[in-house]
Structure 1
Amino acid sequence: MPIAVITGGNKGLGLSQSRRFLQAGFEVHVVARSRADFDTLGQGAHFHECDIAADRAADWLAAIHAGAGPIAALVNNAGVHFKKPIWEVPPEALDQVLDINVRAMFAACGRYVSLHQDSGGAIVNVSSMGGIMALPSAAAYVTAKTAVVGLTRSVAVDAAQFGIRCNAVSPGFIDTDMTRAVLAKDPARRDRIESRIPTHSFGQPEDVANAIFYLASDQAAYVNGVNLPVDGGYAIGF
């Protein structure tokens, strides 16, 4: 049974990712700070409590590898959003955003490659449309998610010699509980956003999960170093 490791795979978009890999017959290891909705995943899912931002060497990944064996797919999904203009971002807030969104992912990618030089595998990093375009009042977040895209390309080039591919996805506006809660306070904003999306609709969590699964699968065996937008065309719309 192939193994997938998904950070933050117990809530939001990550929960859909875990379900997608389970449906495909993977053994899924979820790494997160709390169990949240993990128990809804059922058989085949394993939980590992960890603050990945505090583990600068990604020892958590080495522990899973030692206990379960080679990891076919690593999905670096865990992240944090931060919405303030650059002149209101204190240094400690920037550190937190970079620690979770960049440094933890950087460590995980490096540890994964070091562990799988003989077995190959696939890494999928979750960026954002903030990694493609500027978002208002989100300088720290945009900086971090842009770094994810650069990291992905670098890992793709360096790790290809070991049969390891690395790609990224950049979700746009996805219809999650959190998105609905935020936009419920301003229904007109949702209308404005949908009017700009060429498909005129928000995406579903499964849309992101399917894109991630494709990039991690053998169907994408010759896809390496790409950043795949899952945004209905938002980033290229008007």
Structure 2
Amino acid sequence: IAEASGKELDRFWRVNVKGTFYVSAAMKRQDVLSVPSRTGPREVGGGAIIALGSCNSYVATPQIVQYTTAKHAVLGMVKDAALDNAPYKIRVNAVCPSWVDTPMTGEAIEGDADLRHIIRRVVPLGRIAHPEEVSDAIMFLSSPRSSYMTGGGLLVDGGATLQLQI
């Protein structure tokens, strides 16, 4: 932490925490989700808000305290927002991936020759997630199939958080 940049903390906080806060608040204010969409044996209420967490919402990683702090805060916000929105039948959850095959991840791997090997070692499934695997989790949490899930984070991490890395 002694070498951590306060500027980086502010950046991660603005993007991850404030961004999640403002979008969630705007959705509720607009009452976009507050009208029940159907009833039946699996009653579905006003909808779902899905935040983007990270496996770092659950665990810490050396040298990225700013990112980890922001992602822990996102999961905390999800829990509070789930309680606040439950009376309106709005579910609030987070999808929490580990490494995902995106341009940003590609740049990180290009900049660190060992990173791809490290990922294969620490992710039991031995690979980086495809973006579609994360979007599938988001679709699930947005659907009636998750109608009784609220206030949680769905790990999409290939097992990365299962074991202590030594």
Task: Give the TM-score band, short-chain normalised.
Answer: 0.7 to 0.9
Q: Distance in 2 between matches of 1:196 and 1:179?
A: 16
Q: Where does structure 1 lack aligned partners over 5 or more consecutive residues?
A: 1-85
The Cα shift of 1:90 comes to: 4.0
Question: Segments of 4+ in structure 1 off by > 4 A?
Answer: none
- Alpha-carbon distance in 1 for matches of 2:101, 2:15: 23
Secondary structure of 2:161's match? helix
2:17 aligned to 83, 102, 105, which one?
A: 102
Return the alpha-carbon distance in structure 1 between the equivalents of residues 7 and 101 of structure 2. Answer: 30
Specify the code of the residue in structure 2 equivalent to 1:234.
A
* Equivalent residue number for residue 196 of structure 1: 122
What do residues 100-131 of structure 1 show as CA deviations (whole Å, max 9, x unaligned)? Answer: 21122112212222322742221000011111
Query: Which amino acid counterpart does residue 96 of structure 2 have in structure 1?
Result: S
Tell me how far 1:97 sits from its aligned partner.
2.0
Residue 215 of structure 1 deviates from its aligned partner by 0.3
1:148 aligns with 2:63: no
Q: 2:17 and 2:123 mapped to 1: Cα distance?
A: 28
Superposition pairs of residues 6-17 of structure 1, within 5 angstroms: none
Q: 1:183 to 1:99 in 2, by over 3 A?
A: same
Judged with a 3 Å threshold, the aligned counterparts in structure 2 of structure 1 residues 174 and 121 are, in CA distance, closer, same or farther, namely same
Higher relative contact order (CA 8 A, sep 6+): 2
Query: How far apart are 1:172 and its partner, in Å?
Result: 0.5
Identity of matched residues, %: 34
Aligned with 1:226 (options 137, 149, 152): 152
Q: Is the 8 A contact 2:34 2:47 kept in 1?
A: no
Q: Could you state the TM-score of these two structures normalised by the residue count of structure 1? A: 0.60
Q: Which residue of 2 aligns with 1:236?
A: 162
Give the Cα separation in 2 of the matches to 1:227 and 1:129. Answer: 9
Question: How many matched pairs?
Answer: 153
Residue 192 of structure 1: how far off its partner (Å): 2.4
- C-alpha distance in structure 2 between counterparts of 1:118 and 1:92, whole Å: 37
TM-score normalised by length of structure 2: 0.84
